[in-house]
Amino acid sequence: MTAYGAVFSLANTINNIRGCSRCSLVGRSQRILELVYKELEPLPKILERLDTTSPSRSRKKVNAFDGRVKEAIWKFEDSLESLVTQQIPSQFESIPEIVSIDLQSLKNDARSLIHTLIYMDKDYRYEIENMAEDGPISSSIRFHGTNSKMIGLSDQFQLLKTDLIRFLVSPRWSRVFGLYGMAGVGKTTLATRIYEDQEIQSKFECRAWVTVGRVPQPTCQILRGTLAQLLGITQGDEEISDHCLEERLNGTNCLVVLDDVWEEDVWDTLEGSLPYSKNVCINVLLTSRHRKWMEAHVSRDCFYGVRFLKDEESMELLCEKVFGDESCPPQLHKAATKIARLCEGLPLLILAVAGIISKSEHNRDPTYWNDVAERRNSVFTDAYNQISKVLFPSYDYLPQRLKMPFLFMGVFPQDYHTPPSKIMIMLTTKGLWCDRKCLRELAINYSLVLRNFKSVNKTAHELSLAEYKTCWLHSSWRHVCREEASKNKFYHVLNKLIDAELETIKGQRCLCLENNMLFGIKEFCNLVRLNCASSARSLLFYGPYHQYPIPTDVGFMLLREIDALTQRFYTFPIEVLSLVQLRYLALTCNGELPPTISKLFKLRVLIIHPHIHIRRCGAPSYVPSQIWDMKELEHIEILGKSLAAPSHVVSLEKLKTLVGVNASICIVSELSRRIPNIKKLGIQIELTPYDDHNDLLSCFGCISTFKSLETLKLSITNPVVKHGHVYPVTPHSLKLPRNLKKLHLSGTGFPWEYMDVIGSLPYLEALKLRSYAIQGSHWKTENDIFSHLQFLLIEESDLVRWKLGNNSFPQLKYLSMKHCYKLEEIPEPAYLSRLPCFCPIEIELEDCNPLALICATQLQPSVGVTLCVIASSSFYEKPTTFILERRGGEHVAGAG
């Protein structure tokens, strides 16, 4: 795994040096890099051979070999980047336009690496072909159920049971059902409950249970054992012939449970060997950690992702395992509730924690329980270590390309929900490779990543989504990833001084601090300086926000990433400017950005947040114009500072995101020439009461020239609502980029007639209108517009009546109206009358006119369409919430 990431990192490092417009390679430097790169090119395919091997094979020797290859690559990369860094004169006010780089002293190092890589193919092939069979054999061809009580998952049990029985109809045919989910989530428990259920036993006269496992018995033996169970004979007592099967199974319904299947080959063989007859119905229930291999065998309506337990279910399971038939003592209830919640719904972790607590001599002591709840003792750590051996194979047998993105996600702290875009940007700046497809596979195909859906997909089924808003790991997986990452020197998480011990911190490529105070300890700084400052590529501050600056200048040389938004700096830390390899910089700083920031000419991501959002009197704070000289910038996020156009003609061709900055209308007009390939633009414009609001239209005219723009967020700072102002209303008054997918407007005060222009955008999926973005009492929608809109938010509006045109909003899934105090009606849109849809349609009303709520509750969806209305109000002493759900015109649920 680590060799795979190291190959991509070194290849990207070489490409960046060769393609850098500011560096000129002298002598045979270019040739040295070409020779190394040529040897790197075939390595990913060579390393991916491991993906084709069976999970029943041991990977210990291959992983050890992988580690040796990684060390050789990292050693050369360190030498290469150190030499380049030494030759860039960062000590001066500015860096020369062209820097000469001489790499000829690396000739011997390159020759040594090439020699290692040439022999790698042969050695790696040998290791893969001679992987030993892992042991012990884990499969079992009989049922070990105990009729024990199942806690939680009753809804999924009932759904699966109903479907199993429902499909027993004439004509008879066999079906395959799939249960999937991460290790320890309860797949086997749910399958066991199904297998033991009395009604299932009455419907399926013949049943068989096989625990396959990662290291299964021979397929022929599994098949023979399965058939023996179906026939009710002892395996080996008699020969099982086709005639015997036909005679004994004739007219019966059979249920076969194959639990914990890892390989598609196992099922393929069994599927082709199970008896087939028009008079025999064999339904198969597969359980697996991985959904991906089952997709070719299980129809979509027979897939069941096993969910995590709810908080109350977790509490019940914890207390049942600790206290048995007794109830939880009142003095322990609060701590027990928190402990159950910290297990995040994973039954395997709940059982491990409960087992440790129940064995403690202090298991009735409130102080002990409080210490567990506050993680002041080792109970959770011990539980994580205990279940890690169950979880780890899911990681170890991932495809090579997915391992590094998954491992990296463990760097983020608990409850830190990370946008996929940030994960991809950070991995890219590390020189690694990742895209949204990787994260989607980890989430859906391998059940390893948890996620929140985007607002545009808020009510959509997860399998229909291409992406999601944020993602994170379960705490048990975060523990596994951190242990593995630290062992492989990928990253190391530090909470206290002891975490910086020599054996663990030496040679780490990334330091992640969950205690931002550590750099204030002299001993800690010395350990970092001596053991990893020269090799570290990332410095991440993910601890609680710390408002007092702490110096971090301990001799870092090769840093590519600094993420320090939770670490406040009074002024911009000048020492950062010597880190010429920096690609990602995120700081919290109220000070001015220095013009010398252009020395960071390799920077791709620049994020600057203020410590407090208070505007200074007098002249505004500007982003230095030198930022336009930083040609590698792809993402700029600078909150609260004003953008100025450069005095010279220049453009940032690679810039894809520009958000958070203040700008005048004339500056916005200049941007169309400066950032031609922008995809996401978010700016704030301040208009005074004396400004001509019609200039906004010219501003949008310039923005409309951005052919690549997909997301536009434009807000008017301190908007002045001019009720008497009249905007020109002509077919082309408002111009917008044709390819927009998301549009957020705030304070613009446009008339409702402009919505026809917005509605004609062919790809628009999400529209948010805030602070009188659109102004007026009546909105009459034209026919056939908003054809792809899925999410609509209108917040703070004087809208009274809204009439819909024919076939408008045909795809809308989520409508949110907030603080629309004058709104009297919610129109009945066409999307409520469309054909039955897989996803519900939701209408949210927050602090709106009661007439709008009455209107919404009277909407009648067609058969198969589910409508959910959620209304909340804060006008009363106690905030109230009303929830109504209706399917096909039938009132299903009421207020709460």
Task: List, for residues 327-344, the tens digit of each pLDDT value.
Answer: 999 999 999 999 999 999
- Using the predicted structure, report yes or no on whether residue 433 has a pLDDT greater than 80: no
In this prediction, residues 768-796 reach a mean pLDDT of 92
- Residue 402 sits at the vertex; the CA angle it makes with 401 and 404, to the nearest 5 degrees, is 90
* Residue 684 pLDDT: 92
- Using the predicted structure, report yes or no on whether residue 380 has a pLDDT greater than 60: yes
In this prediction, residues 37-41 reach a mean pLDDT of 95
Whether 787 contacts 762, CB under 8 Å? yes
* Residue 240 pLDDT: 66
- C-alpha 481/C-alpha 483 separation (Å) is 5
- Using the predicted structure, report yes or no on whether residue 744 has a pLDDT greater than 80: yes
Cβ atoms < 10 Å from Cβ of 90: 15
Question: Bigger pLDDT: 825 or 693?
Answer: 825
Among 43-47, 561-565, 789-793, 824-828, the minimum mean pLDDT is found in 824-828
- C-alpha 458/C-alpha 887 separation (Å) is 19
| Phi, psi (rounded to 5 degrees) for 110 | -65, -40
Whether 641 contacts 593, CB under 8 Å? yes
* Residue 731 exposed, middle or buried by CB count within 10 Å (0-12, 13-18, 19+): exposed
What is the CA 775 to chain-centroid distance, rounded?
37
Work out whether strand 866-873 and strand 880-887 pair parallel, antiparallel, or are unpaired: antiparallel
Question: Bigger pLDDT: 430 or 370?
Answer: 370
What is the CA 887 to chain-centroid distance, rounded?
32
- C-alpha 762/C-alpha 149 separation (Å) is 54
- C-alpha 423/C-alpha 425 separation (Å) is 6
- Using the predicted structure, report yes or no on whether residue 244 has a pLDDT greater than 90: no
3 state DSSP class of 607:
strand
Q: How confident is the model at residue 464 (pLDDT cuts 50, 70, 90)?
A: very low
In this prediction, residues 74-85 reach a mean pLDDT of 96
* Residue 423 pLDDT: 92
- Using the predicted structure, report yes or no on whether residue 894 has a pLDDT greater than 50: no
- C-alpha 841/C-alpha 893 separation (Å) is 15
- Using the predicted structure, report yes or no on whether residue 793 has a pLDDT greater than 90: yes
Whether 214 contacts 168, CB under 8 Å? no
- Using the predicted structure, report yes or no on whether residue 785 has a pLDDT greater than 70: yes
In this prediction, residues 334-360 reach a mean pLDDT of 96
The percentage of residues in the chain with a pLDDT greater than 70, rounded to a whole number, is 89
- C-alpha 416/C-alpha 423 separation (Å) is 12
Whether 475 contacts 414, CB under 8 Å? yes
Q: How confident is the model at residue 87 (pLDDT cuts 50, 70, 90)?
A: very high
Question: Bigger pLDDT: 861 or 380?
Answer: 380
* Residue 485 pLDDT: 96
In this prediction, residues 559-571 reach a mean pLDDT of 94
Question: Bigger pLDDT: 807 or 479?
Answer: 479
Residue written as tokens 């723009």? 709
Q: How confident is the model at residue 43 (pLDDT cuts 50, 70, 90)?
A: very high
* Residue 891 pLDDT: 47
In this prediction, residues 516-532 reach a mean pLDDT of 93
Q: Which residues contact 724 (CB under 8 A, 6 or more apart)?
A: none
Nearest to 792 by CA among 831, 821, 824: 831
- C-alpha 10/C-alpha 204 separation (Å) is 58
The percentage of residues in the chain with a pLDDT greater than 90, rounded to a whole number, is 57
Q: How confident is the model at residue 192 (pLDDT cuts 50, 70, 90)?
A: very high
* Residue 396 exposed, middle or buried by CB count within 10 Å (0-12, 13-18, 19+): middle
- Using the predicted structure, report yes or no on whether residue 620 has a pLDDT greater than 80: no
Among 387-396, 645-654, 750-759, the minimum mean pLDDT is found in 645-654
Nearest to 700 by CA among 730, 671, 724: 671
Residue 31 corresponds to which tokens in the numbers above?
């040739």
Q: How confident is the model at residue 892 (pLDDT cuts 50, 70, 90)?
A: very low
* Residue 835 pLDDT: 46
Q: Is 431 left (phi over 0), alpha (psi -120 to 50) or beta?
A: left
| Phi, psi (rounded to 5 degrees) for 730 | -135, 165
* Residue 172 pLDDT: 60
Among 42-46, 198-202, 627-631, 716-720, the minimum mean pLDDT is found in 716-720
Residue written as tokens 């799939």? 178
Among 69-78, 216-225, 520-529, the minimum mean pLDDT is found in 216-225
% helix / strand / coil in the chain, to the nearest 5?
40, 20, 45
- C-alpha 890/C-alpha 896 separation (Å) is 18
Q: What is the pLDDT of residues 381-392, one digit of tens each?
A: 999 999 999 999
Nearest to 843 by CA among 828, 833, 821: 828
Query: How far is the first Cα of the chain from the last one, in angstroms, to the nearest whole number?
Result: 51
Q: How confident is the model at residue 30 (pLDDT cuts 50, 70, 90)?
A: very high
Whether 648 contacts 615, CB under 8 Å? no
Q: How confident is the model at residue 656 (pLDDT cuts 50, 70, 90)?
A: very high
B/e letters for 442-462, b = 16+ CB within 10 Å, e = fewer, are: bbbbbbbbbbebbbbbbbbee
- Using the predicted structure, report yes or no on whether residue 618 has a pLDDT greater than 70: no
Residue 702 corresponds to which tokens in the numbers above?
């310039």
Residue 536 corresponds to which tokens in the numbers above?
């570290």
- Using the predicted structure, report yes or no on whether residue 895 has a pLDDT greater than 50: no
Q: How confident is the model at residue 893 (pLDDT cuts 50, 70, 90)?
A: very low
- Using the predicted structure, report yes or no on whether residue 630 has a pLDDT greater than 50: yes
- C-alpha 473/C-alpha 65 separation (Å) is 28
Q: How confident is the model at residue 825 (pLDDT cuts 50, 70, 90)?
A: confident
In this prediction, residues 215-233 reach a mean pLDDT of 85
Whether 114 contacts 39, CB under 8 Å? yes
Mean pLDDT of the chain: 87
* Residue 670 pLDDT: 82
